[in-house]
Amino acid sequence: MSVSRRAVLSGTGVIIGASALTAIVPGQAAAAPRSYRVHTAPATAGSVDSCLVLGERKAVLVDGQLFSADAAQVADLVAATGRTLETVFVTHAHPDHHLGLAVIKERFPAARVVAHPAVAAQIDALAPRQQRVMRQRSGPAIADRLVTVAPLAHDRIELEGERLEVIGPMQGDTAVSTALWVPQLRLLVAGDFAYAGTHLWMREVLSPTALDGWRRSLDLLERLGPQVVVPGHRTPSFGNDPGVFAFTRRYLDSWEAALGTARTAGDMVERMNEAMGRLPQENYLHFAAGAALKGG
Ligand SMILES: [Zn+2]
């Protein structure tokens, strides 16, 4: 029986990894983790992905969304799998990946919420202000509670005796970013190292050093040889495959080329729209272009 390696998209916005669901080789012991699920928020909620890695009875969730409504849908997804949510891993300190965690933690109080120590320290320092700013902008759509994110003692998370590896921290769309590598499924939960079909958050990647750092991170992640790659942000037309690296690299190259010739922020926006087509999260482009160049 041949099985497509492309992820399939259900009508509910939940992406089910077809290759991962069939990743158990007949005759072998069924080791955890066994499969994965992805929830993608709508474009109005940042197109953020949360990825659930499933063992036989337990699960690990990666990233917790921005809005409470999306976090509640992620919690519903966890509940529907029938697994016990043991660990929630946060890839980096941007608010769209952790301000929804209060909702998830309330549904699954026994789950431990963790990050690499450098990420946990940033969340600890930044979260109160992020929450205040986001609630000014979006009101009660943002939870009014914060969850403490505990620093991991080791660069790994265990799921039913199997090791999932924390990669990083290193430069992504922010300087301190991590990904989760699930070797048993050849699954990379890439966080914001990889985007698919949306604008990238370039506001913190304005220097040539940062841009090259992001490319080097992609080199390292690709060398792992993942067969399934879950990006941090996506439009639903993209599957969970290494093609998301190509999209991210094309965007970085286009950004660098446009920055080399644009004279104003307006030029920059125009050139990027020409190079990449109209993409969701155009506000990301406006922020970054305005920071990189004078307006006009
Ligand atoms: Zn993000």
Statement: residue 28 has pLDDT above 50: no
140: Cα separation from own chain's centroid: 23
Q: For 203-238, write each residue's pLDDT tens digit.
A: 999 999 999 999 999 999 999 999 999 999 999 999
Q: How far away, in angstroms, is 174 Cα from ligand 1 center?
A: 9
Q: Which domains can be identified in the chain, with CATH numbers? A: 8-292 (3.60.15.10)
Q: Which residues pair with 258 in a beta bridge?
A: none
By three-state DSSP, how is residue 136 classified? helix
Whole-number Å distance between alpha carbons of 69 and 256: 36
Beta-sheet strand order (sheet of 162-170): 156-159, 162-170, 177-182, 187-196, 228-234
* pLDDT above 90: percentage of residues in the chain: 87
Q: For 119-150, write each residue's pLDDT tens digit.
A: 999 999 999 999 999 999 999 999 999 999 99
Q: Which residues pair with 150 in a beta bridge?
A: 114
Q: How far away, in angstroms, is 281 Cα from ligand 1 center?
A: 11
Q: How far away, in angstroms, is 122 Cα from ligand 1 center?
A: 15
* Model pTM score: 0.89
Q: How far away, in angstroms, is 241 Cα from ligand 1 center?
A: 18
pLDDT band at 8 (very low <50, low <70, confident <90, very high): very low
What stretch of H or E contains 156? strand 156-159
Please provide residue 239's backbone torsions phi and psi, each rounded to the nearest 5 degrees: -90, 180
Q: How far apart are the first and last CA of the chain?
A: 58
